[in-house]
A and B are shown apart, each in its own frame.
Chain A
């Protein structure tokens, strides 16, 4: 495979691990770029949940890359085949880069369905079993700008045996090699990039081996799998990612799957991750919550303390664990959000977040959102998705700023 067009230009590497830069050469014509650390735009079948193009484009600085999952697309293979124009055209996506992942980070798969030759995804009609051949056939109908290779990632449970983990690394490498062979011989996939997937569960040697071996293949970047929120605590995750990073080339991007909480994002950036899946705002939206954590690093310390207190009193009576990782339950509310269904918001006429310039905060108030949630109105999801996405994008923007100006510590304190 010819040298990948995707180029990671690093402008800073902090303490040998955190990286700041720009991912260039994205898309078929190579004209898109994505700043790192950054997040992808999460979608269901190419649509950001709840949003149409009008509502989506009220957002500024939308990530240039949209993530599409095989779990939503696979069942439409026949339709795409007949359509012939590729997924982007099918979905009416005009100006974005499409990255195709295997799984939906917001929907955990039931375990026990991978074999030596197959993995499974779950569509609206049930389970779809994929061999590499079928996987690649679907990629040909999708024609993404880049995709992750087929991988055996069923290792996120904490009691997976060493033998099983070794198998996941071996299988994933075998899948990768098969994918690459088909890829290199396919006209339809010319110009499309492939990311290898690093497996190995919670065993350092397996992680290192997976990373080392994957790095030998001609891939454009690396997905780090099996680190999903809830699968392990952050200390271990950081340790493993650092070990992986040592085996990976500096100039290729690392995409961490299944991690979206701001505190975990920060820690993983420090360990050497460049890209994250952008599903966290969606999860927050689905539980009727609004992201409200402050990430403003330009405040003077005194005001900063006041803001922090305000947020805390908002969450005070709710008895939520403060930023702790719960037992893999991604649906649990975090300390980064406010629960708008709470009665206290029923006559709160402030915007969701003071100073947030998103469509929701400019036009609506907490009391209105509360009403929409209490009455089960569809608009709640629309407005919350807009705000939560805007807030999250803002967080990443500040994260990059902090990295550029050595203010990462300030950000961590928030």
Chain B
């Protein structure tokens, strides 16, 4: 790619804003990363343990995926950073030639593991494999991510559940700023790996604003909006998202963590976010739930036993081109490959959705896209989620 040659090698990330929606806060960009360019808005599938759940890297590439996630906590445990470094980083280990983003391991500390203690040093926890106490500090997290060699690394943040209120939220916000500075200092590969900051502050506008003011003073190549998508009210959720994008620099990418439902994606693009990740599409696939423009389809349900249409007649993915709902329904009783078929379809659905969103922004018709998207997704306007209506109204899009 000649574009790579002409770019400044010192910065492993360049954001080119291709189009900006004149009505909403949406943008369409080209995000140039070390392994390839990424078109945004982008949905990043999650390949937790160095694999995308039954899909080969060729299949993933074939679907047009340009960036996916690996998980520092899981890979740091097994097989461990040393082994992966020997294998030429996570790219070499899983043989993925495009981009990788690794999270810090912070979220897993909270969601998965028996927490011993969080203090200024880091997060102390018990390993689920041998019960030993491990300390995940900002330095340790960055060290593992340096070994993994991801194109984008996330800072270790002090993660607090979005449903928690009170002084703990403020403490975590301030600590996350201090940990950001430690992460920046610990990054051995600033010329190859991009370290993103994560804005915290819970659902408190003042705290979030304070965090934004501080973190935007640091010279990081990108920002994530964290501490959301954890079970909080959607009314609070969107307000924090839009507050964040209001105060994030225009010329750096905005990554909204943990967002993956189609409606959420479309709305949050309108609110100014560029990058998204979520386990939902791939996880729900393994349960037989196929994502479609009008919601989802539970392939394992009896009603599809004799349904000889593909999941989505308009979907060009390999699954829909060859197989019917009835066959997939039957296959779920016989072989694990049924899950792979749905996984492929769901990734295709997510990536196609984002591609369409991007194209509509480039063409200057994003608001129309939003309206027809909502029409397809919900049987009638009175079923539109009120938070989505409000959020879209806040960026000048009125639904029926």
Q: Which A residues form the contact surface with B (CB < 8 A)?
A: 44-45, 47-55, 58, 72, 75-76, 78-79, 82-83, 90-92, 123-125, 346-347, 349, 359, 363-365, 367-368, 370-372, 374-375, 377-379, 381-383
Contacts and interface: CB of A to CB of B under 8 A. Distances in A.
B78 interface: yes
Nearest to B51: A379
B337 A47 contact: yes
A375 to B, nearest CB: 5
Nearest to B50: A371
Nearest to A383: B56
B51 to A, nearest CB: 4
B306 interface: yes
Given A44-B331, A346-B79, 15 more contacts: A54-B62, A54-B318, A76-B330, A79-B306, A79-B326, A92-B322, A92-B324, A349-B87, A359-B56, A365-B87, A371-B49, A377-B49, A378-B51, A379-B54, A381-B336
Contact of A55 (B56, B78, B326): B56
B136 interface: no
A368 B87 contact: yes
Interface stretch (B27-35, B138-146, B187-195, B338-346): B338-346
Contacts of B58: 54, 58, 359, 363
B79 A382 contact: no
A49 B58 CA distance: 19
Nearest to B82: A347
Contacts of A50: 54, 335-337, 340
Contacts of A45: 330-331, 333-335
The 10 nearest A-B residue pairs measured at CB:
A378-B54, A124-B333, A44-B335, A45-B334, A92-B322, A44-B334, A379-B51, A371-B79, A375-B49, A92-B323
Contact of A382 (B56, B86, B93, B324): B56
A349 B95 CA distance: 12
Contacts of A363: 56-58, 95
Interface string B47-75: 00111111111110010000000000010
Contact of B340 (A92, A359, A378, A383): A378
Given A47-B337, A377-B49, A79 B330 contact: yes
Interface in B76-99: 78-79, 83, 86-87, 93-95
A364 B336 contact: no
B333 A52 contact: no
B308 interface: yes
Nearest to A45: B334
A382 B59 CA distance: 12
Given A50-B336, A79-B306, A371-B79, A91 B327 contact: yes
B336 A378 contact: yes
Contacts of B17: none
B377 interface: no
A334 B333 CA distance: 29
B305 interface: yes
A369 to B, nearest CB: 11
A47 B334 contact: yes
B226 to A, nearest CB: 26
B83 A368 contact: no
Contact of B335 (A49, A123, A349): A49
Interface residues of B, number: 42
A92 B324 CA distance: 8
B50 to A, nearest CB: 7
Interface in B300-340: 305-306, 308, 318-319, 322-324, 326-327, 330-331, 333-337, 339-340
22 contacts: A44-B331, A44-B334, A47-B331, A52-B318, A52-B340, A53-B322, A54-B56, A54-B58, A54-B59, A58-B58, A79-B306, A79-B326, A91-B327, A92-B324, A349-B86, A364-B95, A368-B94, A372-B49, A375-B74, A378-B340, A379-B52, A379-B53
Given A49-B335, A50-B337, A90 B56 contact: no
A164 to B, nearest CB: 32
Contact of A378 (B53, B74, B83, B323): B53
Contacts of A377: 49, 51, 53-54
Contacts of B335: 44-45, 47, 49-50
Contacts of A123: 333
Contact of B78 (A92, A125, A374): A374
Contacts of A124: 333-334
B147 to A, nearest CB: 14
A79 to B, nearest CB: 5
A44 B327 CA distance: 12
Given A79-B306, A377-B51, A379-B55, A49 B79 contact: no
B311 to A, nearest CB: 13
A347 B88 CA distance: 12
Contacts of A125: 333
Nearest to A90: B327
Contacts of A379: 51-56
Contacts of A53: 318, 322
B322 A367 contact: no
Interface in B260-310: 305-306, 308
A366 to B, nearest CB: 11
Contacts of A72: 334
B78 A49 contact: no
The interface centre, meaning the residue of B51, B53, B55 with most chain A CB atoms within 10 A of its CB, is B51
Nearest to B326: A79
A18 B334 CA distance: 36
Contacts of A90: 324, 326-327
Nearest to A349: B87
A347 B331 contact: no
A379 B47 CA distance: 11
A52 B320 CA distance: 12
A76 B308 CA distance: 13
A347 B83 CA distance: 7
A377 B54 CA distance: 7
A47 B327 CA distance: 10
A382 B331 contact: no
Contacts of A370: 79
Contacts of A54: 56, 58-59, 62, 318
B326 A382 contact: no
A368 B93 contact: yes
Contacts of B57: 363
